[in-house]
Structure 1
Amino acid sequence: MTETAAASSSGVQSRPIALVTGASAGFGQAIARRLVAEGYRVIAAARRLSRLETLAQDLGDALYPLELDVTDLKAVRALPQSLPEDWQAVDVLVNNAGLALGLERAWQADGDDWETMIATNISGLVEMTRALLPGMVARNHGHVVMLGSTAGRYPYPGANVYGGTKAFVEQFTQNLRSDLLGKAVRVTNIAPGLCGGSEFSLVRLRDAALADAVYDSTQPLQPEDIAQTVAWVLAQPPHVNVNLIEMMPLCQASAGLAVDRTMG
């Protein structure tokens, strides 16, 4: 990859292509930066085009900014043919776009928030995968990386639909692996726990002070940690499929079962 990264303009065209959703901030931006450094050409997809254009100014011709909302099914389904011809043979899809909204208990939650999480975390991820997977199978080469969450395995109060969407990501990943048996297309779910340095908690809580308090007196994972993990997964030999990576900061652990002692 180092030699490829140092190549001339014609050499840039021969680099493998990765498409990263949610690339305007947080995990997605860090992953885009890391993959360009690793020698990839990166299609950075997100809703906020101005941020992507700024990123392209930093990273040059190796990054293609793409304005895309993964909940826009028409745009996602048209994606393979709408990309410039020399960007269409996507080798790696990083399904990073996703969000959590609210921490209310299920009977108090906003129904619109639930629908937005389902549309983004499930439908958007499924549609992006369905759009690019046929090309990977036809070329018999590719890798789909999902950004799941420990919330998909360990429940906590207020995670109701968010946790459910991330559990779907894990099950979808496993079923894709079953479907792809015999094909040289890999699928991986990366499931982080507490992670700072992104807009995740601000989007979820809609309050900067509350978002900052989530990470008070902790040393959480950072987007660069996630980007490093993605790069490591992609760098494994072609015969190796990493099914699942679950990662937490040292300051976090699964809490175990909860018991209410007021009902006895």
Structure 2
Amino acid sequence: MNTRANPTLWTGGALLGLVLLPALVTALLTGARAPTIDVLHRYAPLSLSHPLGTDPFGRDVMIFVLSGAFNSILIAAMAVCLSTIAGTVLGLIAAGRPPRVIMGLTDLGLAFPPVLIAALLVTALGASAMGEILAIALFGLPAQIRITRQAARAILVQDYIAASRLAGRGTISILRRHVLPNILPLLTVQATSSLALAILSDAGLSYLGLGAPPPRPDLGRALAAYQIHVFDHPLLVAVPGLTIMLLVLGFNMTGDGLRDALDAPLEDHRA
């Protein structure tokens, strides 16, 4: 994999670094908890003690947003891991069998608005971090199943797979030894790109009040709470909005860069 001459990958990584590193440091120092309320210092201007000022509750905006970013990334990562594992297993099963039950349910899931499905699931499970993780994972599951199945079926028609069958290898052994290692790069790219959608889903659910309850810092809830100050204190809205934009753009560009880096050796080999 050639990553040196890949500006998309490096740019995506740089954008993510602008948020990930400060968010990680903040989480280590504060435990990703909401900063202390100090009503005596509401709407404090930018200063050394409050680099981005304070909000209507006197909380430090920078600490609140970075803690929210860490929580959003953590929830998105857990949801993507869950959907990737479940989607890969179900996709491999569907690849080796006629596309009936699994693909039928997948098509049904793709037919419904994903935000509606996630909102219904969170409503049923209750507003909590676990409910949000399960909702976002279910949101990305149908696409993961379809991508895995298509990639696996493209490998299962190769001649060396037929040779393995003639040698007496079973379906599970072929999927484990030949198919999964070959589709792993694709799954890595898909998981990276899915993180962008998971961040947006987390922000959207929290904005609608369906995320983990307060006092957990959250980017979507910050946007919902600060939107009434868009004209008198625009920085309160701009900071969480810009943070979400950097994360989504960073994960998308990183996924695109990884895809280009993984495709380049294949193109060179074909040439």
**Same-fold status (TM-score > 0.5):** no
* Larger Rg, first or second structure (1 or 2): 2
Using CA pairs under 8 Å that are at least 6 residues apart, name the structure with larger relative contact order, 1 or 2. 2
When the two structures are superposed, what TM-score results if normalisation uses the length of structure 1? 0.29
Q: Judging by fraction of residues, say which structure has more helix.
A: 2
When the two structures are superposed, what TM-score results if normalisation uses the length of structure 2? 0.29
